[in-house]
Amino acid sequence: MIKSINSPIINQLYIGDSKFTNQNEGATNKEQFLSSCQAMQNFEILSLYSKCAKSNAIKNIINQFQNFILCSDDQIVVESISELIEQRNLSQIRKEFNTFCKLKKLNQSFLVSVINSKRFSMFFKYFLNYYVLDWAFERVNKELNNHLICIIFFQRCFLDKTLIKEIKTYKKRLD
């Protein structure tokens, strides 16, 4: 359940605020926005997450994660993580992940499945903590703040599993 809050931090940082909407103002505002979000309590980041336009951001983050697993130049990291979890080589991991992706559409349900997955959650956590921010700062021009909010929220989902329930998933209707 989302708390109704009236926080000056959220009011100042909310996506519509002109202080952070100009993406061309340089790294200072981007980093300031990121550090402000990282300093927030879970209920504050949840409030921002629920207000932001996240469908495009989620799709982009999932696509980057898919590229990280299937096409990453940093194969050593992927193999090292897999050896910590189970004794599997890179080709096995990629084959399993490819099958995992084919069984699901790349949407919020996929995201929840990855976070809850025994096989792939460790990879996603590593990706969120070490790779995705560099990609977001370099490549995302539009809606960077929405991407950053989603990234911080997904990182928090690993620390507080109750937040996963706040990711909207839709079930197919059987008519």
**pLDDT tens for the 175 residues of the chain, in order:** 444 444 444 444 444 443 444 444 455 688 898 899 999 999 999 999 999 888 889 999 999 999 988 886 667 777 677 666 666 777 888 888 888 888 888 888 899 999 999 888 888 999 999 899 999 999 887 889 999 999 999 999 999 999 999 888 776 666 5
Task: Spell out the alpha helix ranges (H) of the chain.
Answer: 8-13, 18-21, 27-38, 42-51, 55-71, 75-85, 90-102, 108-116, 121-130, 132-139, 144-159
> Which amino acid, 114?
V
Instruction: Give the C-alpha distances (Å, rounded to integers) separating 54 from 18, 83, 151.
Output: 19, 33, 10
Quote the pTM value: 0.79
Instruction: Identify the DSSP state of 52.
Output: S
